[in-house]
Amino acid sequence: MTESKPAARKEIGDVAMGYDDDAGNAGIVRTRRVTFDQPGQELALEGGGTLAPFTLAYETYGSLSERKDNAVLVTHALSGDAHVAGRHSANDKRPGWWDMMIGPGKGLDTDKYFVICANVIGGCTGSTGPASTNPATGKPFGTDFPIITIADMVNAQVRLLDHLGIDKLLAAVGGSMGGMQVLELVVSHPDRTHLCVPLATAARQPTQAIAFNEVGRQAIMADPNWRGGHYYGGKTPAKGLSVARMVGHITYLSDEAMEEKFGRRLQDILDYTFTFSADFEVESYLRHQGLSFTNRFDANTYLYITRALDYFDLSRQHGTLVKAFEEVKARFLVMGFSSDWLHPPYQLKEIVSALRATHKHVSYYEVESHYGHDAFLLEREKMEGIIAAFLSSGARTYHR
């Protein structure tokens, strides 16, 4: 394998020193890339075929202990990336997507833990995905990129753990699609983590979520600029992707949160325009969300990742969820969010019940929140104490 950038001062542990005024924050970080291109490093895919070579973009925070027993893998959701905390430069406007949870003294305390986050394969922010160059043709893969699954994403990240010399994580933590990845990890690689924290997720993609994803995919594929997925170098299917994002965004909020955030307020006008322009704040907001998403996300990645989500069903290979969990060794903290209607608390409780049926060590916590599915990205105070307590008590029972 080859590191595409030379290692900086520290081999691992990217947080730049000298930002004491930034206490509590993860500091300045940069994204690294590692390419797995050696024989034996091919990624055998669940749907058949292999991906080789492949690259993962990742970031790390804090320092890996000498015994390598303090590593925490954070897995990202549909639109996430490796940049989970900190800033890329001192004048970077926005921190990473879960900055509220990661940093010195935070829920995932980087003074204690070595936090890792990687962009999933199929992604569009540094890891190999449909926009990457197909070595067979020298052109972007487009829809020639193989269909990938949650298990494939996990297997790729296990390669990264190997690369970093981490036999067994202290914890794997993830929400939504990230939650599916940590569940897949403990089922297919039971020895790779001591603790598992799935948040706002499910052991199988629920029907309603497949339905919404299909609407998003149809919007992308109906965009004339999509051109069968081979649009790189030309106009992108921005309109389709934007509509897909708008639909997705609705599922991340809640009725109550929308009423509170927008109500029926009008956007910069005093009365209806009696046209189809974005009279309502909520329309304007969704259009803005959709449009800004197209600046940072690839439409084909949206297709591939939603497909991976839809195929996710832990019980499929094992018959039942209880059987899937039989060989699991990790201890669990499962978290649901009261107003999440994409993954309502009952879907988390199903995971808990199945784990309990096989006598696994599992705790369940339900966060009272009106933020809907997005609550796991917002409700810092209601989550971090519990997560911190789970990690520190879990660290006492860590063993290889």
Q: Give the binding site for other proteins (CB under 8 A).
A: 333, 349, 352-353, 356-357, 359, 361-366, 382, 385-386, 389-390, 392-394, 396-397
* Tokens (6 digits) for 125: 């922010």
State the minimum distance, in angstroms, from the CB of residue 346 to other proteins: 9
Which one from 79, 127, 132, 176 is the annotated catalytic residue? 176
Which one from 76, 83, 194, 373 is the annotated catalytic residue? 373
Contact 34, 160 (CB under 8 A): yes
Residue 65 CA to residue 115 CA, distance in Å, equals 11
Residue 169 or 333: which CB sits closer to other proteins? 333
H helices present in the chain, as ranges: 150-164, 177-188, 207-222, 238-252, 255-261, 281-296, 299-311, 315-318, 321-324, 345-357, 380-397
Residue 117 or 169: which CB sits closer to other proteins? 169
In the chain, DSSP finds a helix count (H) and a strand count (E) of: 11, 13
In Å, how far are 29, 60, 350 from 24, measured between CA atoms?
14, 16, 36
Residue 61 or 390: which CB sits closer to other proteins? 390
* Tokens (6 digits) for 225: 């600029």
125: amino acid identity, one letter: T
State the minimum distance, in angstroms, from the CB of residue 371 to other proteins: 17
Residue 142 CA to residue 245 CA, distance in Å, equals 20
Return the number of other C-beta atoms located less than 10 Å from residue 8's C-beta: 12
Q: Is 102 exposed, middle or buried (0-12, 13-18, 19+ CB in 10 A)?
A: buried
Residue 191 or 368: which CB sits closer to other proteins? 368
State the minimum distance, in angstroms, from the CB of residue 154 to other proteins: 25
Residue 162 CA to residue 56 CA, distance in Å, equals 13
Which one from 14, 152, 340, 374 is the annotated catalytic residue? 340
Residue 272 or 346: which CB sits closer to other proteins? 346
The reply to whether 271 belongs to the active site is no
The reply to whether 399 belongs to the active site is no
The reply to whether 340 belongs to the active site is yes
Contact 42, 51 (CB under 8 A): yes
State the minimum distance, in angstroms, from the CB of residue 227 to other proteins: 49
* Tokens (6 digits) for 240: 């389709």
State the minimum distance, in angstroms, from the CB of residue 381 to other proteins: 10
Residue 165 or 385: which CB sits closer to other proteins? 385
Q: Which residues are catalytic?
A: 176, 340, 373
